[in-house]
Chains A and B, each alone.
Chain A
Amino acid sequence: MESFASVSLSQKIFSRLLVLYPRGYREQFGPHMSQLFKDCSREALALRGTTGLITLWLATLPDLFKTAFEENFKEITHMSKEKFHRLGKWAFVLGAALFLLAFVIGGMETSTEDPLGGPDALIEYFKLGIGPLAMLLFFVGIASLRSAYGDAAGSVAKTMLSIAAIGSLIGGIGAIGMGLMLSGEPWWYLFFGGAMFMLLGIGVFGVYCMQRKVLPGLSWLFALGGLTLPLLSLAQIVFQLATDTQANPAEWASQLALGVTSLALLAAGLQLQGTQDIAPKTAKR
């Protein structure tokens, strides 16, 4: 009778301690763990009496604390990652929307004096804050893309997304410099160079996604949105070197490239909302 009471008390205390585990885990395995501990208590008591029960507790408690900590940690990091990916996808959409907005507004008043040869008013709006904000949003979006799909897209694509993220930060710094009206050209080149690396990184990521069939149906949008402007710039540089002139592309070509870029990135970001994250191929046991 006394042994039955000891086992019952032992199980009750153990069941109370299961509160240390995350709720979902507790609901799924709590009753079975409790039953298992009851069996162990019964066996320990039958074999070695109270000493056996105390020894069982001394061995079980560290194991319980350790695994409860690990499960809670997993729960927290898993939730944080999910939230970060959700937030990042929206940040990408907003970044692309601001890019598009700047393009539309910029298209209303144009000149051909900037190095891209495109709408100069775009630069003015970037100076007012759209640029830094768009770049910051792109940074968050690219970081979450890297976290959610980087492993599936491969190491090169992952590295290119890192370059894209760094590019967005550099571009953002350049845009802030322009916004603060700091003396002209270096800030413009910082912004322009950062934006080009950002787009190139996104574009190459898109190409690798197409190759590996990651994000089917929208990977081509990343490739198109990311590569259009860098390819135009490359064509411009090649043309200038070949002809030994400072000729810029026609304004319509620049505007078309900006439009394609912003629309493709916006469409990619919107379609991204409905996609699932892809877990790394090699999961930890």
Chain B
Amino acid sequence: MKATTPHDLLPLTPAVFHILLALMDQERHGYGIMKEVEQQTEGEMLLRPGTLYQAIKRMIELGMIEETDDRPDPSLDDERRRYYRVTGLGRKVASAEAERLRKLLALARNKQVTAFGAPS
């Protein structure tokens, strides 16, 4: 099920891309990912348990993230929490997606598409 190249996995869904971004700087558990995504999108994206774990399952299958037994601070944590970390492939996929979006944005700017709609 693992993809051969990062580009095989593009484009990413917003949920998958945000989860990857949330895991870029540190390992997190489900609730941690949910809060980080909420924070990084200023509350625009609220991941519910169903959507979050569906995306996590898919990302594990594709080799973009992996489960880890490490706990940043075991004393503060519940054993039922499962931590996830981004893999090498996951980092490459995130870079490729960012590059894809950069090109798309450049194209939109070139066509003078602004945040308020198409040019008059």
Residues of B within 8 A of A25 (CB): 57
Interface 9-residue window, one of A36-44, A96-104, A114-122:
A36-44
Contacts A279-B1, A285-B16 known; A33 to B8 CB distance under 8 Å? no
Pick from B9, B30, B49, B78: contact of A283, CB below 8 A: B9
A31 to B8, CA, bound (A): 32
**How many whole Å from B79's CB to the nearest CB in chain A?**
10
Residues of chain B with a CB closer than 8 A to A279's CB = 1
Chain A 48-70 per-residue mask, 1 if CB under 8 angstroms from chain B, else 0: 00000000000110011011101
A226→B12 CA distance, assembly (Å): 41
Answer whether residue A29 sits at the interface, using C-beta atoms and an 8 A cutoff: yes
Say yes or no: A33-B80 contact (C-beta < 8 A), given A285-B12, A285-B13. no
Count of A interface residues, CB-CB < 8 Å: 27
A245 within 8 Å of B (CB atoms): no
CB pair A283–B1 under 8 Å, yes or no, is: yes
Closest Cβ–Cβ distance, residue B58 to chain A (whole Å): 6
Q: How many residues of B contact A (CB 8 A)?
A: 29
- For A31, what are the chain B residues with a Cβ–Cβ distance below 8 Å? 80
Interface pair A35/B30, CB less than 8 Å apart: yes
A28 and B67 alpha carbons, distance in the complex (Å): 11
- Residues from chain A with a CB closer than 8 A to the CB of B78 are 35
Which of A28, A32, A71, A285 is the one whose CB lies under 8 Å from B9? A285
A16 at the interface (CB under 8 A from B): no
Asked if A32 and B12 sit within 8 Å, CB to CB, the answer is no
Task: Tell me the bound Cα distance from A25 to B61 in angstroms.
Answer: 12
B1 touches A63 (CB 8 A): no
- Residue from the list A28, A63, A285 in contact with B51, Cβ < 8 A: A63
Establish whether residues A63 and B50, one from each chain, have CB atoms under 8 Å apart when the complex forms: yes
Distance between Cα atoms of A40 and B34 in the complex (Å)? 10
Q: Are B80 and A35 in contact (CB under 8 A)?
A: yes
A71 touches B54 (CB 8 A): yes
Nearest A-chain residue to B81, judged by Cβ: A35
Q: Give a binary string over A252-277; 1 marks a CB under 8 Å from any B CB, 0 the rest.
A: 00000000000000000000000000
Residues from chain B with a CB closer than 8 A to the CB of A66 are 50
**Minimal beta-carbon separation of B85 from chain A (angstroms):** 15
A14-B49, A29-B57, A67-B53 given; 11 more Cβ-contact pairs under 8 Å: A29-B56, A32-B29, A32-B80, A40-B34, A66-B50, A67-B50, A67-B51, A282-B8, A283-B3, A285-B16, A285-B55
16 intermolecular pairs with C-beta atoms under 8 Å apart: A25-B57, A32-B30, A32-B80, A32-B82, A35-B31, A35-B78, A35-B80, A37-B49, A60-B50, A63-B49, A67-B54, A71-B54, A281-B3, A283-B3, A283-B8, A285-B9
Taking Cβ atoms with an 8 Å cutoff, the residues of B that contact A are 1, 3-4, 8-9, 12-13, 16, 29-31, 34, 46, 48-58, 62, 78, 80-82
List the 10 closest pairs (A to B, CB-CB), nearest first: A67-B50, A63-B48, A39-B31, A36-B30, A63-B50, A29-B53, A33-B49, A35-B80, A64-B50, A67-B54
